[in-house]
Structure formats: C-alpha cells, structure tokens
Amino acid sequence: MTSPIRDLATLPKGHLHLHLEGAMRPATLEDLAAEQGMAVPPIRGFGSFAAFAGMYVAACAVLRGEAEFRRLVREVVEDAARDGVAWVEPALYTPRYRSLFGSDEATVELALDELATAGADLGVACGLIVAADRTVAPNEAVDLARVAASFAGRGVVGFGLANDEADWPPEPFAEAFAIAKDAGLLSAPHGGELAGPASVVGCLEACRADRVMHGVRAVEDADLVARLADSGVCLDVCPTSNVLLSVVDSLDDHPLPRLLDAGVRCSINADDPLLFGPGILEEYQLCRDRLGLDDTALAGVARASLEASGAPADVVAAGLAGVDAWLAAAPA
C-alpha cells in the first residue's frame, strides 16, 4: 500500500535560479535549429563546467530574432504555470543580444514585455534578474548594474553574477552590486558551487548578497552555515545541476537536507533544465524521493522561495496563503 501524498504541482513556489536560455525546451531548440538550417546544438554529455558553458553558448545561437526570443520567454512562463510556479525571475545576460536588439536596454525591455504578456495570460507573476558574467572585465558588470538599476520598479528585481567562479571570485564585482543594491535590487550572485566557502563569504561581504545562487559548498564550513542561518540569506539550490557538474558526488549526498536542518533558508530550482533535464517540479519531486524532504520541509522551501524572491508583496502573500492551504489539506 502506498501512502497518500500531496501533489507538488499545486504547491505554490517561486523559481529563483533559472537562466533564461538554459530554460529553453529541447524541442524548441530542435525547431529553431531546423528553421535556420542549423545542426541541433548538443545539450548532453558535458564532462566539465567549461564544456557545459560552451554548450550553453552554442544553444543560444538559435535565438536569431525577436520572434525566437519571445517564444523562449513565453515557453518559460508556460512551463512555470505547468509546474505550479507562482513567481518566476529568470536571469538574463544581455550583452549576448546587443547585435540583435541594439542595446542592453532594448533586450531587457523585450524580455520584460513578453514576461508581462505571458504572465498575465497564464497567471504567473514574473520578474527579471540582470546577470553579469564574471569571466568578463568588471567594468561591464558596472554598466549592466546601471542598466538593471534603471529598470528597478519596472520588472527587474535583482542583479546576478554567473559563469565559472573557480578563477573569477566575486570581490572585483563589489562596485556593480553596490549600484544594484542602492537601486533597491536584490543581490543574487553565484557562489559556493565550483569554489568553496570563501566564495560564499565573498558574496556576502563584497556583493552584500540577499541570496546566493547555489551556495551549497557553504556546508564545508560550520561557522559559515551558522552565519547563513542567522542572516536569513537564501541559497537558491539546484540539486541536479550540482550532480551533473560534479559539485556533489551523487544526489543522495546532496547537502540540502543538512543546510535546512541547520536553519539555512533554501529554495529549490532547476538552473538550466535544457542541459540538466529536470524542471523545477521534478526537482521538488527528487528532493522528496531521494533526499527525504517531507511535505512540511517542502512547504518550508516553497515559503522561502516566495519570501526571498523579488515578487511584489501581494504575490508573496497570496503564495504563502497557498502554501499554508496546500499543507493543511489532507493528502490525496
């Protein structure tokens, strides 16, 4: 006899760690490649972060105009609706589109326009994180932070920092994050993924992080774990990504349960489902099935994902009420 369970698709959740192009559907990648007479870029079988990053960039090549870009954004919102996401805030590196759309501002406007349209159609509230690339000189990040700041209150909710952190620590990006924070944006750099606890400390101190994307290697330092728990900083955790990029040895060894037990706020996310496979709903399911998170723990994660998000207060309040209702209802 199987025990009754609650449907994770009806648990309202925020999706906080999702790279826009990395959320493309594999079928859309195939469609767009075929339309343009391109070979389908490979999306499986990377053995290193560098190989993964190369595949990511190659997949972006199918986005050759506004129609393709809008399709990508709309499908991200459709997938969010399917997975019970009440709020999604994908991250976007705009310099990739300068030659297509003319400027970083034009790219942000296009993303925000389609997020708003699709979100209204599908009942999903949406924001955007403008993300810098840590392997590019920090003055570009300063420029992007100014762009992000100019959209504060108009859909951009946070500022991020992505790509390979092993040789590119967060400290040189302090000025960019100061600009974003002064504009009221959330600071959400990547850290504690490919580099250890020191990079999480760098995110907290140099970037004044409100959230750390990944951050899971904080578990290697007990004092840092305690500091995170006291601070309320949220770790935007992506279990399958960590397995496939060898940040953890196996899913069963993932530190998420230990971080939660220590009182660290964590959200569950998909990162780049195009390359890693599972969407956010499947990640929640994996955390239930493989990491032993019960419904109370999963509801706590969903609450954190809403409270730590860039969502407006009314969206957060409605989502939290939905989480309470989900937990209060008897399992089916």
User: Catalytic amino acids?
Assistant: 193
β-bridge partners, 237: 268
Q: How far is the CB of 80 from Zn ion (least distance, A)?
A: 17
Q: Is the dihedral of CA 297, 303, 309, 315 positive or negative?
A: positive
**Residue 213: strand pairing partners:** 190, 236
- Least distance to Zn ion, CB of residue 19, Å: 6
Q: Which is nearer to Zn ion, 107 or 242 (CB)?
A: 242
Q: Is 83 one of the binding residues for Zn ion (CB under 5 A)?
A: no
Does position 79 interact with Zn ion (CB under 5 A)? The reply is: no
Say if CB 256 and CB 237 are below 8 A apart: yes
Count of chain residues binding Zn ion (CB under 5 A): 1
Kindly state the smallest distance separating residue 162's Cβ from Zn ion, in Å. Answer: 6
Which range, of 134-142, 243-251, 271-279, 286-294, touches Zn ion by CB under 5 A?
Answer: 271-279
Q: Pick one of 145, 271, 287, 316: the residue that binds Zn ion (CB under 5 A).
A: 271
Which segment (28-36, 108-116, 141-149, 263-271) binds Zn ion by CB under 5 A?
263-271
Are 105 and 142 in contact, with CB atoms under 8 Å apart?
Answer: no
Closest CB to Zn ion among residues 211, 299: 211
- Of the candidates 87, 25, 14, which has an alpha carbon nearest to the alpha carbon of residue 268? 14
C-beta separation of 91 from 44 below 8 A: no
CB of 173 vs Zn ion, minimal distance in Å: 15
Residue with smallest beta-carbon separation from Zn ion: 271
Stretch that binds Zn ion, among 27-35, 195-203, 219-227, 267-275 (CB under 5 A): 267-275
Nearest approach, Cβ of residue 158 and Zn ion (Å): 13
Residue 236 binding Zn ion, by CB under 5 A: no
- Give the CA angle between residues 222, 223, 228 to the nearest 5°: 95
Q: Closer to Zn ion by CB, 207 or 323: give it.
A: 207
Q: How far apart are CA 216 and CA 293, in angstroms?
A: 17
Classify each residue of 250-260 as buried b or exposed e, where b means 16 or more C-beta atoms within 10 Å of its C-beta.
ebeebbbeebb
Report in angstroms how near the CB of residue 330 gets to Zn ion at its nearest. Answer: 36
**Residue 193 binds to Zn ion (criterion: CB under 5 A):** no
**197 or 215: whose CB is closer to Zn ion?**
215
Helices (H), the chain: 26-35, 49-60, 66-82, 98-101, 104-122, 138-150, 174-182, 197-206, 222-231, 239-244, 256-261, 273-276, 280-289, 295-307, 313-328
Nearer to Zn ion, 204 or 323 (CB): 204
Residue with Cβ nearer Zn ion (12 or 189): 189
Evaluate whether 234 touches 213 at the Cβ level (below 8 Å). Answer: no
Chain residues binding Zn ion by CB under 5 A are: 271
